[in-house]
């Protein structure tokens, strides 16, 4: 249903482009946006039930900053995307205070630097890109990293270790989804679950 809606919106905007590749990219982007919006709304419903909406907000901020230009893996179906995203967001956010440890912060920072240098942009974000476009994505993701560090410093200054921990957890989650380990895991889950039925493709 969401894919059909995204295709219809993209078709209505197709008068602005003559290339089929542009229409397909627009439809894909709209579909991802719709899936992300619905998944985020669902996650925040659970976040309010668990009384951790602020932590989830900062986790999602990290996810958006790194994955906007860094790309990463996606499930084939909406319901799988929602379940996996809920798990990797809600559980770390509930225990976010444990992520606010200097060793965890340093390790996360190093992992993010490694991921940005080696694998950004990942997935469909890299397909058909020139070297300059790839380097541009790396630079923009590095700017996101600097902003991530600045927000963590601010949260530390105002004594909000649980929110800083959520931001660190969001950086770690982003690194996982961008890296080959994320692709191996998510695509492996998809292959395991594929049985001729599943849900709506994302």
Per-residue pLDDT of the chain (202 residues; tens, 9 = 90+): 445 544 455 445 555 555 544 556 666 666 667 777 888 888 999 999 999 999 999 999 999 999 988 988 888 777 788 899 999 999 999 999 999 999 999 999 999 999 999 999 987 657 677 889 899 999 999 999 999 999 999 999 999 999 999 999 999 999 999 999 999 999 999 999 887 554 445 5
Residue 67's nearest CA partner among 168, 150, 177 is 177
Measure Cα distances from 174 to 52, 162, 170, 192, 195 in Å.
Answer: 19, 18, 6, 23, 28
- Residue 130 backbone phi and psi in degrees, to 5: -80, 170
- The full 3-state SS of the chain, as one line of letters, equals CHHHHHHHHHHHCHHHCCCHHHHHHHHHHHHHHHHHHHHHHHHHHHHHHCCCHHHHHHHHHHHHHHHHHHECCCCCEHHHHHHHHHHHHHHHHHCHHHHCCHHHHHHHHHHHHHHHHHHCCEHHHCCCCCHHHHHHHHHHHHHHHHHHHHHHHHHHHCCCHHHHHHHHHHHHHHHHHHCHHHHHHHHHHHHHHCCCCCCCEC
pTM to 2 decimal places? 0.82
Which residues is 77 bridged to in the sheet? 201
Measure Cα distances from 44 to 32, 96, 97, 170 in Å.
Answer: 18, 16, 19, 15
Find the angle CA(186)-CA(148)-CA(169) to the nearest 5 degrees: 40
CA distance 10 to 26: 6
């Amino acid at each position: 249903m969401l894919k059909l809606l995204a295709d219809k919106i993209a078709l209505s905007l197709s008068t602005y482009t003559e290339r089929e590749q542009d229409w397909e990219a627009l439809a894909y982007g709209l579909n991802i946006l719709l899936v992300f919006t619905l998944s985020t709304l669902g996650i925040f419903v659970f976040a309010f039930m668990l009384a951790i909406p602020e932590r989830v907000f900062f986790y999602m901020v990290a996810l958006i900053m790194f994955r906007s230009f860094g790309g990463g893996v996606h499930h084939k179906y909406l319901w799988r995307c929602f379940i996996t995203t809920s798990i990797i967001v809600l559980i770390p956010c509930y225990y976010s205070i444990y992520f606010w440890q200097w060793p965890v912060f340093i390790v996360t920072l190093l992992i993010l630097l490694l991921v940005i240098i080696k694998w950004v942009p990942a997935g469909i974000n890299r397909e058909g890109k020139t070297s300059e476009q790839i380097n541009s994505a790396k630079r923009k993701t590095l700017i996101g990293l600097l902003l991530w560090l600045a927000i963590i410093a601010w949260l530390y200054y105002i004594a909000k270790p649980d929110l800083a921990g959520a931001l660190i957890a969001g950086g770690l989650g982003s690194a996982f989804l961008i890296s080959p380990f994320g692709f191996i895991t998510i695509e492996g889950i998809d292959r395991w679950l594929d049985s001729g039925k599943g849900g709506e493709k994302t």
